[in-house]
């Protein structure tokens, strides 16, 4: 038996929709297409399906149904949290964020800072990617509107000490937001127990559809809406994306059933992958290995090889992965996450992320190990400066 090619190891970018998700979404598209705000029977039936989906999502995320505000995804939820917190308490102007937040969230905060709407302070991380709690404590103050720390990092999988930061935020009256996009569906999560006021999640990271997610908003907290309208208790206007929301609910339900078992399986597959790579290619470095990490994520550097080159060779050998570094017209930008962990700009362009998922098999890992050894081994034998000129290694089919 061989692995089914290509081997998809990019689950932190997005996951394939689960069959149960597709089936439920198709059913809603075909049969429950009325507007949940319509007062006729068809509208009321749609409203019932929406309420049921909200309950299923809330059950999985450990919150009350009324605390779920459905959005177009985590990017929108992150914007709601930041802009809402600043608008709700205009006397507080400072935003505290970890230096490794998602680029969309950091870009928003930087824009607000540059416009003079808010002041942004970044909380550093250590070389393992863990938030520096001493620095966080020193940055707290009565002018802080929102502290935003991600549950787990999308590039390295490093899990952040959210509960500890929540205590610090509470002591100075700041609200706290957690971008839990990578945590939901990969680690146990309870909004009720988290001690934070807001949490962002996205359906497509756990087997649901793209373009739908939620901001969990602590009961009693009122934020001026980003999109005005009557839906979602006046917290987010726009006709609800019912097929997407139902797909999200189906994904949550399946994750609730399989999560514990999945974590065990993913730990062992990821462990096999990292050990195998380091055995075959001693130049491999694993980022975040000294910190608590998600079970599915491996962020690696292959000697001094640029990420683009590694990804190109892996793809030709039938393995799909990603780099944390952003691509622009002018070339690859260094990963802000690896820079924050103390890497040089050159090395921060070398991070390659292999992220496993529900359907990853031992055969996929075996294929990846063979592909990496054959496609990258010869490149790692030569001096880094010559690596670009090395002829292509024979790839497996
Ligand atoms: N935050 C994190 C940590 C993410 O990984 C992502 C997706 N890459 C987002 C936010 C954005 O999510 P969405 O695609 O739902 O807008």
| Same domain (yes/no): 314, 281 | yes
Atom of ligand 1 nearest to the CA of 202: 15
Domain-ending residue, one of 221, 238, 254: 254
Residue 394 in any domain: the answer is no
What digits encode the pLDDT tens for the residues 54-102? 999 999 999 999 999 999 999 999 999 999 999 999 999 999 999 999 9
| Ligand 1 geometric centre to CA of 202 (Å) | 7
Specify if 369 maps to a domain.
yes
Instruction: For ligand 1, atom 7, name the residue with the nearest CA.
Output: 13
118 occurs within a structural domain: yes
Please count the other Cβ atoms lying within 10 Å of the Cβ belonging to residue 324.
25
Burial of residue 45 (number of CB atoms within 10 Å: 0-12, 13-18, 19+): middle
Which protein residue has the closest C-alpha to ligand 1 atom 8?
13
How high is the pLDDT of residue 203? Answer: 98
Distance 74 CA to ligand 1 centre (A): 5
- Domain with 288, as residue range(s), is 7-15+259-388
**CATH classification at residue 341:** 3.90.1150.10
In this structure, are 230 and 281 located in the same domain?
A: no
- Ligand 1 pocket check for 73: Cβ under 6 Å: yes
Span 233-270, pLDDT tens digits: 999 999 999 999 999 999 999 999 999 999 999 999 99
Confidence of residue 5 (pLDDT cuts 50, 70, 90): confident
> Are residue 35 and residue 155 in the same domain, yes or no?
yes
pLDDT score for 327: 65
- pLDDT value, residue 6: 97
CA-based angle 201:206:212, to the nearest 5?
50
Is the pLDDT at 396 greater than 80, yes or no? no
Percent of all residues in the chain with a pLDDT value above 90, rounded to a whole number: 92
Cα four-point dihedral sign 102, 107, 113, 118: negative
Triad 261, 193, 294: Cα angle to 5°:
40
| Coil, helix or strand at residue 40 | coil
Indicate which atom in ligand 1 lies nearest the CA of residue 13. 8
- Ligand 1: centre distance to CA 230 (Å): 26
User: Does the structure show a pLDDT above 50 at 393?
Assistant: no
Asked if residue 390 has pLDDT above 50, the reply is no
Residues 248 and 266 in one domain: no
Mean per-residue pLDDT, 109-131:
98
CA 10–ligand 1 middle distance (angstroms): 13
Assigned domain for 291 exists:
yes
> Rounded to whole angstroms, how far apart are CA atoms 27 and 22?
9
Same domain, 11 and 39: no
Give the distance (Å) from ligand 1 centre to CA of residue 131: 19
Reply yes or no on whether 327 is catalytic. yes
Average pLDDT over residues 287-298: 98
pLDDT at 37 over 50: yes
- Of the residues 172, 252, 299, 327, only one is catalytic, namely 327
Whether 397 is in a domain gets the answer no
Whether 384 has a pLDDT exceeding 90, the answer reads no
Residue 392's pLDDT is what? 36
Distance from residue 4's CA to the centre of ligand 1 (Å): 27
Q: Which of 199, 233, 254 represents a domain boundary (last residue)?
A: 254
The average pLDDT across 161-175 equals 98
Beta carbon of 243 within 6 Å of any ligand 1 atom: no
Q: Do 201 and 165 have their domain in common?
A: yes
Q: Collapsing DSSP states into helix, strand and coil, what is residue 375?
A: helix
Whether residue 328 sits in one domain with residue 220: no
Greater confidence (4 vs 328) lies with 4
pLDDT band at residue 328 under the 50/70/90 scheme: low
What is the total count of domains within the chain? 2
What percentage of the chain exceeds 70 in pLDDT?
A: 95
Residues 235 and 333 placed together within one structural domain of the fold: no
Judging by DSSP bridges, how do beta strands 119-123 and 94-98 pair with one another? parallel
| Same domain membership, residue 271 and residue 166 | no
> What's the mean pLDDT when you consider all of the chain?
94
Q: What is the pLDDT of residue 332?
A: 78
Supply the pLDDT for residue 383. 45
Residue after which a domain boundary falls, among 193, 226, 254: 254
User: CATH number of the domain that 182 lies in?
Assistant: 3.40.640.10
Looking at the domain assignment, is residue 396 inside a domain? no
Q: Are residues 140 and 276 in the same domain?
A: no
In a domain, 121, yes or no: yes
Q: Which atom of ligand 1 is nearest to the CA of 76?
A: 16
In this prediction, residue 354 has a pLDDT band, given cuts at 50, 70 and 90, of: very high
By C-alpha distance, which of 351, 337, 359, 7 is closest to 152? 337
**Do 319 and 290 belong together in one domain?**
yes
| Residue located nearest, by CA, to atom 10 of ligand 1 | 74
* Distance in angstroms between the alpha carbons of the first and the last residue of the chain: 13
The minimum-distance atom of ligand 1 relative to the CA of 101 is 3
Confidence of residue 345 (pLDDT cuts 50, 70, 90): very high
Note whether 263 and 238 are same-domain residues. Answer: no
CA-based nearest residue to 314, from 354, 359, 283: 354
Atom number of ligand 1 nearest to Cα 204: 15
Residue with tokens 């250590």: 126
**Residue 356 domain flag:** yes
The pTM is what? 0.95
Is the CB of 81 inside a 6 Å radius of any atom of ligand 1?
no
16: β partners: none
């Amino acid at each position: 038996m061989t692995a089914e090619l290509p081997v998809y190891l990019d689950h932190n970018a997005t996951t394939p929709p689960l069959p149960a998700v597709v089936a439920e979404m198709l059913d809603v598209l075909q049969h429950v297409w009325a507007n949940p705000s319509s007062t006729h029977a068809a509208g009321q039936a749609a409203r019932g399906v929406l309420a049921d989906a909200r309950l299923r999502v809330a059950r999985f995320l450990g919150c009350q149904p009324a605390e779920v505000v459905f959005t177009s995804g985590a990017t929108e939820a992150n914007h709601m949290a930041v802009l809402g917190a600043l608008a709700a308490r205009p006397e507080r102007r400072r935003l505290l964020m970890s230096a490794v937040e998602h680029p969309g969230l950091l870009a928003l905060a930087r824009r607000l800072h540059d416009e003079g709407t808010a002041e942004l302070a970044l909380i550093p991380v250590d070389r393992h990617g863990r938030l520096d709690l001493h620095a966080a404590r020193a940055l707290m103050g009565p002018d802080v509107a929102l502290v935003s720390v991600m549950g787990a990092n999308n590039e390295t999988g490093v899990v952040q000490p959210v509960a500890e930061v929540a205590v610090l935020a509470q002591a100075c009256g700041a609200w706290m937001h957690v971008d839990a996009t990578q945590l939901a569906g990969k680690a146990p999560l309870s909004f009720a127990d988290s001690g934070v006021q807001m949490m962002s999640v996205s359906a497509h990271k756990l087997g649901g559809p793209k373009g739908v997610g939620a901001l969990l908003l602590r009961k009693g907290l009122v934020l001026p809406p980003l999109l005005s309208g009557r839906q979602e208790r006046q917290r987010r206007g726009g006709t609800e994306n019912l097929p997407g929301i139902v797909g999200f609910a189906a994904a949550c339900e399946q994750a609730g059933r399989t999560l514990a078992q999945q974590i065990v399986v993913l730990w062992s597959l990821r462990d096999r992958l990292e050990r195998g790579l380091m055995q075959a290619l001693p130049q491999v470095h694993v980022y975040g290995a000294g910190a608590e990490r998600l079970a599915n994520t491996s962020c690696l550097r292959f000697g001094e090889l640029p990420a683009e080159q590694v990804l190109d060779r892996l793809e030709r050998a039938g393995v799909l992965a990603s780099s944390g570094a952003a691509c622009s017209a002018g070339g690859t930008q260094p990963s802000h996450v690896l820079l924050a962990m103390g890497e040089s700009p050159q090395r921060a362009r070398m991070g390659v992320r292999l992220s496993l998922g529900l359907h990853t098999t031992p055969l996929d890992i075996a294929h990846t190990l063979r592909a990496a050894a054959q496609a990258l081994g010869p490149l790692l034998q030569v001096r880094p400066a010559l690596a670009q000129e090395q002829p292509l290694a024979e790839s497996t089919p």
